Amino acid sequence: MASRIEHEFIGAFAGGVFATFNNDEANPHAVNVATGALLGKYAARLPDMFEPASHPNHRNFFHSWVFLGTLGVGMYKLTKWEPKEGYEKVLKWFVLIAGVAYASHLLRDSITPKGLPLV
């Protein structure tokens, strides 16, 4: 089982990398990367907040391949959205980083001996 700190580290890395390549021109680059890493750190905790790792078979729907696929489709559709307002751009950026960090958690869990359930 991957530890919470490991998930946070991977999520922060994923959020930081995402922010590095998806910058908002309004903000300094370093601020965006740091914000992305911080958001990624916390968003990577979400799967275990929905389904706490209190027993070996805690992985259910929010840890499943179906959820990961649904998340991927949702994020893909979100990348096609072209927000007009500033707050919409920020919201899109935040949701995409949270999604990347969430996915990083599931992908890390998928390579453990227990893996992920289909549904």
Among positions 1-20, residues that touch Zn ion (CB under 5 A) are none
Q: Quick one: which of 11, 15, 47, 99 contacts Zn ion (CB under 5 A)?
A: 47
Among positions 55-94, residues that touch Zn ion (CB under 5 A) are none
* Helix pair angle (86-110, 65-80), 10° resolution: 150
Q: Quick one: which of 12, 14, 48, 93 contacts Zn ion (CB under 5 A)?
A: 48
Kindly write down the DSSP assignment for every residue of 85-109, as one continuous string. SHHHHHHHHHHHHHHHHHHHHHHHH
CB of 97 to Zn ion, least distance (A): 18
Size of the site for Zn ion (CB under 5 A): 3
CB of 70 to Zn ion, least distance (A): 17
What is the three-class DSSP state of 59?
A: coil
Query: Does residue 109 touch Zn ion according to CB under 5 A?
Result: yes
Q: Are 19 and 97 in contact (CB under 8 A)?
A: yes
Number of residues assigned to the chain: 119
User: Which residues of the shown chain bind Zn ion in the complex (CB under 5 A)?
Assistant: 47-48, 109
